[in-house]
Amino acid sequence: MIHDTTPPHSFPTEWPNALAQLIPDAPASMAAPTRRSFLKIAGFASLGGLALGAFPLSSLADEPAAAAALKPTQQPSAFVRIDTDGIVTVTINRLDFGQGVQTGLPMILAEELDADWSKVRSEHGSNDPAYVDPVAGMHITGGSSAIRNSFMQYRELGARARAMLVSAAGRQWKLDPATLRTEAGQVIAPDGRRAGYGELAEAAMQLPVPATVALKSPSQFRLIGQPTTRLDAKAKSSGRQSYGIDTRRPGQVTAVVARPPVFGAKLVSVDDKAARAVPGVKAVLRVPAGKGLEVVAVIAEGYWPAHQGRAALKLQWDSSAVEKVDSTRQLAQYQALARQPGAVHFDADVSALAKAPRSIEAEFVFPYLAHAAMEPLNCTVKIGADAAELWLGTQFPGQDGIAAAAALGLKPEQVRIQVQMAGGGFGRRATPGSELVVEACQVARAARAAGIDAPVRTLWSREDDIRGGFYRPMHVHRARIGFDEQGRVLGWDHVIVGQSIVMGTMFEPWLVKNGIDGSTVEGMREPYALPMRLSVHHPKVNVPVLWWRSVGSTHTAFVMETLVDEIARATGQDPVAYRLKLFDEGARRHRAALQLAVERSGYGKRKLAAGRAWGVAVHESFKTVVAYVVEASVQDGRPVLHQVTAGVHCNLAVNPRSIEAQIQGAALMGLSTCLPGAAITLKEGVVEQSNFGDFSVPRMPDMPEVAVHIVPSADPPTGLGEPGLPPLAPAFANAIASLTGKPLRALPFAMA
């Protein structure tokens, strides 16, 4: 592949002040790093592919000022490769782990390029500076920001590449480029002459990159907005798709790591005699794990002997100096904290609570959740004499590259991260401390020191993945609400207890305000005009935590939407009508999404089967609004979800087929939080769950019918990777509550 032959580039220091679109009130200084135009120097022509704008080094001094002013993120050379046969390969600046950006981003670029879609391919990028998020200024896949932040970027990339091809054709034909047009991968002259992009690419790559380009009007779109089959659909459906776990390098060995059963425990002794006797085992190594801790790596010819070797180890750990978390005790501690005010986020006057004619007091409990992606964590590391190369599916390739360099004693520009397709992640592949990468590098470094000069793939088992930490934090909410007979809320006093995800990370300066992690409270009060006093406690607990698909909205949406429904039921009002009345002035998109879901579901018009009830919820996360109207029942004491109708407001729909898939998948993942067994618990510091036998996920019989409807819009697109998850659980819970008369106040559901 071309990227394998590209020489190392000079890498800027990773920007810690990132996530401009994901962090409220981000400072204006959060801009992508500027630098003289970035050049791709690889020998594209000799490999049959031509990158537009890849100037030879000797031309640097003569490069036009306009092109030189462009940032690396604006140079087509890093993103577009056109082979002589007309195949267009688009490099994506994000990780695709199921959300479909490896189709969505190429669609956007191909639209402005006027490419023949049947000849468009895609590939992942690297930790190259060209692939930073152009808004956040760092390498990141997260916050449902890929399409939102790169929509204009990829349009302009496509338009620049098209302009260069047209200019090349004009020179070849001695015609004014303004007289030429493009269509389906060809430049067409007024007299009917045609030249394919593959024919023109070599000449086009010698031309300056235009600094400004004209973009299509939405009325001219031919690809954007059309339901389009994903580029990876055939490979995935036929089992030929390669993921990070499938990385195979010449001479590669596999490492399996023994980690402490209690987080932070110290390794006391190792008896590895039996492990070394396992056929295929090459070495058993003590490896530093940071903070004075160690783990034990078993290096073998493949996964199975490494796994067997680890099972044969006799290890002693000392956990006397660390907290041994017990879920039962932790819940009691959280409940006690929830009865006390914490750091104040909203400070409305709630004095009217004492005299309100109606009231609700509610406590909600949300457990730790594992990410449990289908592809367990993995990272392959190849160490050379003065450089290193890593293969993994990562949401933070830039940060991981810097962490890898530090672990290997190299400079950041000596480390190349080859981003691989990932089989899920849901936030788990975005650790600010790059723990997976650092461990894999330490293992590879130790193996090299032991005489094993080969690429090392560190591979986690399913049990490692579920017991390995970095969970969605456990939370307890406590609410006191006073309202009148018309449902007018007079006062709402609310306390949240839960660990902070970002305190102690590079994101703390921008996400923590007044001692409150903004991801903990996102979605609270919105989009309702409510007099709420909200305070937060962030206890320190010896359990590593991380964002989990839709982050704070995993619990705040459930709390808000079930309580709003409970007030509606208590005052005899239709839940939909009550929400429409309660929405604040800025809830135009909420209103449109909810009304669309209601209309398409037949809510209030269609008679349900006996024993079924409607449930409704609407929530905005990451700038996209999703409303659900569901049908549910209770069968033999077990909640059953039958049908889901979604109304989605994501502004311009780039690929409606991908949107449908994302909503269906997110709804299923939302359902997973409702079912018995969907919790991570600890006893004396040890995680009790280990695999899908005791950490439940929905099975095929649990999957409801899901119909997805999109609110038409021409506004710039927002994101879809996460917003479909939060409103599913409250909509389901509201349906069950209307059947039983008892509100559900815990996930997974606790049916009395």
pLDDT in tens, 31-76: 333 333 322 322 233 334 667 754 332 233 334 455 568 999 999 9
Shared domain check, 592 and 734: yes
Q: Which residues contact 451 (CB under 8 A, 6 or more apart)?
A: none
Helix (H, G, I), strand (E, B) or coil at 83: strand
pLDDT tens for each residue of 451-507? 999 999 999 999 999 999 999 999 999 999 999 999 999 999 999 999 999 999 999
Which two three-digit tokens encode residue 253? Answer: 């060995």
Whether 749 maps to a domain, the answer reads no
Confidence of residue 5 (pLDDT cuts 50, 70, 90): very low
Q: Which of 22, 19, 135, 97 is nearest to 662 (CA)?
A: 97
pLDDT attached to residue 66: 55
Q: Which residues contact 404 (CB under 8 A, 6 or more apart)?
A: 381, 388, 390, 410, 415, 417, 434, 437, 438, 441
Q: Which residues contact 409 (CB under 8 A, 6 or more apart)?
A: none
- Residue 107: left if φ>0, alpha if ψ -120 to 50, beta else—which one? alpha
Shared domain check, 254 and 233: no
Whether 8 maps to a domain, the answer reads yes
Q: Which residues contact 418 (CB under 8 A, 6 or more apart)?
A: 3, 124, 126, 389, 390, 391
pLDDT tens for each residue of 161-177? 999 999 999 999 999 99
Q: Is the previous residue joined to 527 through a cis bond, with omega within 30 degrees of 0?
A: yes
pLDDT tens for each residue of 82-95? 999 999 999 999 99
Q: Which residues contact 292 (CB under 8 A, 6 or more apart)?
A: 266
Per-residue pLDDT averaged across 242-255, rounded? 98
Whether 664 maps to a domain, the answer reads yes
- Determine contact, residues 567/738, Cβ cutoff 8 Å: no
Shared domain check, 690 and 604: yes
- The whole-angstrom separation of Cα 722 and Cα 80 is 28
Per-residue pLDDT averaged across 299-322, rounded? 98
Whether 45 maps to a domain, the answer reads yes
Mark which of 177, 202, 237 sits at the end of a domain.
237
Shared domain check, 253 and 113: no
In this model, does residue 137 exceed pLDDT 50? yes
Confidence of residue 225 (pLDDT cuts 50, 70, 90): very high
Give Cα 390 distance to the centre of its chain: 20
Return the residue matching tokens 């070599």. Answer: 202
pLDDT attached to residue 125: 98
Helix (H, G, I), strand (E, B) or coil at 303: helix
Shared domain check, 218 and 103: yes
pLDDT attached to residue 32: 35
Shared domain check, 266 and 355: no
Q: Which residues contact 676 (CB under 8 A, 6 or more apart)?
A: 696, 748, 749
Shared domain check, 167 and 293: no
Per-residue pLDDT averaged across 643-658, rounded? 98
- Determine contact, residues 287/446, Cβ cutoff 8 Å: yes
Helix (H, G, I), strand (E, B) or coil at 501: coil
Shared domain check, 254 and 204: no
Mark which of 237, 260, 295 sits at the end of a domain.
237
DSSP 432-459: TT-HHHHHHHHHHHHHHHTT--S-EEEE
Mark which of 237, 265, 288 sits at the end of a domain.
237
Shared domain check, 417 and 363: no
User: Percentage of the chain surpassing pLDDT 70?
Assistant: 91
CATH number at residue 710: 3.30.365.10
Whether 752 maps to a domain, the answer reads no
Residues 557, 560, 563, 568, CA torsion sign: negative
Output phi, psi for 456, to 5 deg. Answer: -120, 125
Q: Let me know how many helices (H) and strands (E) the chain has, helices first.
A: 18, 29
Whether 750 maps to a domain, the answer reads no
- Determine contact, residues 594/617, Cβ cutoff 8 Å: no
pLDDT attached to residue 752: 66
CB count within 10 Å of CB 324 equals 17
Per-residue pLDDT averaged across 626-639, rounded? 97
Q: Which of 104, 148, 99, 132 is nearest to 33 (CA)?
A: 132
Shared domain check, 313 and 232: no
In this model, does residue 670 exceed pLDDT 70? yes
Whether 454 maps to a domain, the answer reads yes
Quote the domain boundaries for residue 108. Answer: 2-237
Whether 281 maps to a domain, the answer reads yes
Q: Is the previous residue joined to 177 through a cis bond, with omega within 30 degrees of 0?
A: no
Number of domains into which the chain is organized: 3
Shared domain check, 340 and 305: no
Shared domain check, 60 and 145: yes
Q: Which residues of 442-473 are buried (b: 16+ CB within 10 A; e: fewer)?
A: bbbbbbeeeebebbbbbbbbeebbbbbbbbbb
